Amino acid sequence: MTLWSLPLPWIAIEAGWFMTEFGRQPWAIQDILPTWYAHSALTPGQLAFSMGLILGLYTLFLIAEVYLMQKYARLGPSAMQHQQQAQQQG
C-alpha cells in the first residue's frame, strides 16, 4: 500500500499546478498581461540556437566542476592543511 502511494504527492503537485494555470486564463500575469500578448516573437531557429548555446555553456560548467572536484579530491584534506599553514606562516 505504501509503495503505491509514493507518486501521490507528485500527482497532487502537478494537479495543483494544472488547475492554477487553467484558473488564471486568459491571463499570463493576473490582471496585467493577457495570454494573447505573452507569446514570444522568436523563430524556431533562434530558439534552437539559444538553447544550444545555453546547453553548451552548462556542459562546459559541468566539465570544469567535475575536473576541479576530482583534482582537489585527489589531493585530499592534508594538502589543504599544508596550504593553510603556509599562508599563516608567510
Written in H, E and C, the secondary structure of the chain is CCHHHCCHHHHHHHHHHHHHHHHCCCEEECCCEEHHHCCCCCCHHHHHHHHHHHHHHHHHHHHHHHHHHHHHHHHHHHHHHHHHHHHHHC
- pLDDT per position as a tens digit, 44-87: 999 999 999 999 999 999 999 999 999 988 888 877 777 777 78
Q: State whether 72 and 82 are in the same domain.
A: yes
Q: State whether 54 and 88 are in the same domain.
A: yes
pLDDT at 70: 95
Q: State whether 44 and 34 are in the same domain.
A: no
pTM above 0.75, yes or no: no
Domain that holds residue 2: 1-39
